[in-house]
Amino acid sequence: MSRVACIGECMVELKQAEGGLFSRGYGGDTLNTAVYLARLGAGADYITALGDDSLSDEMIAGWAAEGVGTVSVARLAGKLPGLYMIQTDDKGERRFFHWRDSAAARSLMDLPQTPEILNALAGYDVIYLSAITLSLYGSEGRTRLFAALQRAREAGARFAFDTNFRARGWPDLDVARAVFREAFSAADIVLASTEDLLPLYPGESNDALLSRIPGAEVVLKLSEPASMLRLQGALYPVRAEPLKAPVVDTTAAGDSFAAAYVAARLMGADPIEAARAGHRLAGVVVCHPGAIIPRAAMPPGLLPATSRKASP
């Protein structure tokens, strides 16, 4: 089985319900991707830090129930996970409110066990993280992480970077642009979107945005239901299938796309097939409330019917 390390933060989630009430769950971009990867048959481990509280215990149990590995989750005494609240409008668009400045996950690159966690990345087939992940750590922490990614790549791992951008996490956009440049240069696969990149590079065309990413395998998700792939310098458009139900919640659309794309590549699909799988899963996810859809709603036949392992 292929192994994927997903690095990031999972938070307590308060989601808008009926009558002004909120339901409690948990979520985070890379955690959502890890869950969908596990459901699609990839051996996904989640790498983060949590507290020693009951909410953190609940998260660990929930991830394990989904088949997500938790061996590299650091538990910090006296710390708590972050908290976020989602309000969703009648078009399925969401607004986030965060309380996370002292969350345990922000300490992941500065712990006594950090070297061991980072050295273990070399044992994975793919290492997946997002721009939100990178926004959690300070400059020194990001330097440690990028150095570990380079060592892992030298050992045969592939680094997949998702451009998931939240302005709140990047108070200095010049710092954000510099970190993005470093991630673009280091990544074997870049999963980008115009929604993420235009706040950093306002007014640029799709071609100009793609020109900022030097990698050989780049996916740019567009504002319409389609994506543009650049593979070894050539461009390939991929359109999503029409939705079979109304959009109710766009949470985790990009996270699920990333999971299906990476899982398909690991199972031997070419990038165009992988992008189609990503669009298909995302198209189902947005028709359900919340980031993680019921298992019964997972679309059948999403990945190629082959067990051949391929490097992305």
Catalytic (active-site) positions: 255
Distance CA 247, CA 282 (A): 11
Q: How many CB atoms lie within 10 A of CB 197?
A: 22
For residue 86, the cross-strand partners are: 15, 96
Q: Give the three-state DSSP class for 34.
A: helix
Alpha helices of the chain — where are they, by DSSP H? 29-39, 54-65, 114-119, 131-135, 139-154, 173-186, 194-197, 206-211, 253-266, 271-285
Find the largest Cα–Cα distance for the chain.
Answer: 54
- DSSP code, position 288: S
Which string of b and e fits 109-124 if b means at least 16 CB within 10 Å?
A: beeeebeebbebbbeb
Question: Among candidates 210, 255, 303, which has minimal Cα distance to 34?
Answer: 255
Expressed in angstroms, the distance from the first to the final Cα of the chain is 14
CB 10 within 8 A of CB 48: yes
